[in-house]
Amino acid sequence: MRRFEFVGGGSSKFWEISQSGSEVTVHFGRIGTNGQTQTKGHDSWEDAAERVRKLVAEKLKEGYQEVAGSGPRPETEPGFRKPPAFPPYELQTLPGDGPVALGDVQLPPGRRLYADVRWAKRVGSITQPVIWATDGRIADAGRLLHSVRPAAAAINLVPLLLQPMDSDPRRPWESGEFSPSDPRPIVLIDAAAELANGWAASLEGDDEELAATVRPFSAKFPGLASAPPLTNRLRDDRDLLEKMRDRRLSLIAAERPADAITAIGWMGAVNIHDDPAPMSAVLRSWEIRWLARVVEIGSDTLLLTVGNPPQDEKTATALAVEHCAFCPDNIWQGPGTLGEYAKTLVGSRTWMFWWD
């Protein structure tokens, strides 16, 4: 049994993993609690060993540290393969202060936003700015976002809307409460595995009332939901964006919307997710299956437009499991049951996530 711990930034968690034949067992939770145990069978010893290596690599990327003497070092395991080494990260250059022209689109005056070093909690945090934002709110911000997308994408910038904290307009953007990082390790993270962990965590404890709210599902993650075919789906979100007014517009140094929260080191979901990288892996999966992309980041909210929403309650219920794993507050502090929440997803072209 190998043990890893993550302590810092308000978190105190452990994660353990072991292999017996073709079975892999993980045991995880908050330090000082009994935690949860999950065991999964694989087709062969080699497949199980590969799964162990992949999960360990993910935890190390998330900032977990292996406890000395807990088990064999990975280099001693048969068939050990090191995770891919990335070349030095070349950060995309942001526009300078003032008005910006991208292609034939003119943006109002803005400036680069810098992270406060006190919030740089992760190893490898980037000190250069990764966010350029307009100085003030823009009346037609959503329309402008849609217009600037092609030119921004050509230079690896993602335009997104920004919302401040309701109680303090300076936070988190002006106060620098973010911790930029290299988003490339997202590719190493298994979205399905992260959702499985989140689903188990959202149902932690032996609570019959809680279990009743997610029926017909159990504590075992049922797997990724299957999206409807892409034929005849509304893929363009211009009509939705044109309704989003009076926001700041930002340009973020990232290759795709799903990666933006990791690139900026967003902390809005820190009570559930210590690291935004696994969240980005899930968002990438949703980009592919549901044509869902982040269009707005708030202090503790994410807003996505959806080009391929579920068209029936069965599909929506399967998707609701993923939403619960990603953001349990959407259900527990919303409709209250998975079934009622699923009804809100049928045909819905926007998804809003909020973390308490």
Q: What is the mean pLDDT of each run of 10 residues along the chain (356 residues)?
A: 80 85 85 85 78 84 75 49 71 93 95 84 71 97 97 96 95 94 87 87 68 79 88 79 97 97 93 88 95 97 96 95 94 90 96 94
- What whole-number distance in Å separates Cα of residue 293 and Cα of residue 298? 15
Class of domain 2-76: mainly beta
Crossing angle of helices 313-326 and 191-202, rounded to 10°: 80
Give the model's pLDDT for residue 197. Answer: 84
- What whole-number distance in Å separates Cα of residue 193 and Cα of residue 156? 28
Token readout for 272 is 């559930």
Q: Is the pTM of this model over 0.85?
A: no
Q: Confirm if 113 and 132 have CB atoms less than 8 A apart.
A: yes
- Report the alpha-carbon angle 323-16-7, nearest 5: 75
State how far the alpha carbon of 149 is from the alpha carbons of 108, 142, 153, 250, 251, in Å: 15, 11, 6, 11, 10
Give the model's pLDDT for residue 108. Answer: 96
- What whole-number distance in Å separates Cα of residue 212 and Cα of residue 220? 14
Look up residue 282 and give its DSSP letter. Answer: H
Q: What backbone phi and psi angles, to 5 degrees, belong to 98?
A: 115, -170
- What whole-number distance in Å separates Cα of residue 61 and Cα of residue 53? 12
| Sheet with strand 292-297: strands edge to edge | 98-102, 105-113, 131-134, 248-253, 157-162, 292-297, 301-306, 350-354
DSSP string, 131-155: EEEESS-BTTHHHHHHHHHHHHHTT
Reference 15, options 31, 69, 23, 24; nearest CA is 31
Token readout for 64 is 């977990």
Q: Is the Cα torsion angle 199, 343, 232, 145 positive or negative in sign?
A: negative
Give the model's pLDDT for residue 212. Answer: 75
User: Looking at the DSSP assignment, which residues form a beta bridge with residue 158?
Assistant: 252
Give the model's pLDDT for residue 123. Answer: 45
**Domain positions in the chain:** 2-76, 94-356
Instruction: Decide: residue 195, CB within 10 A, 0-12 exposed, 13-18 middle, 19+ buried.
Output: buried
Beta strand pairing status for 11-20 and 157-162? unpaired
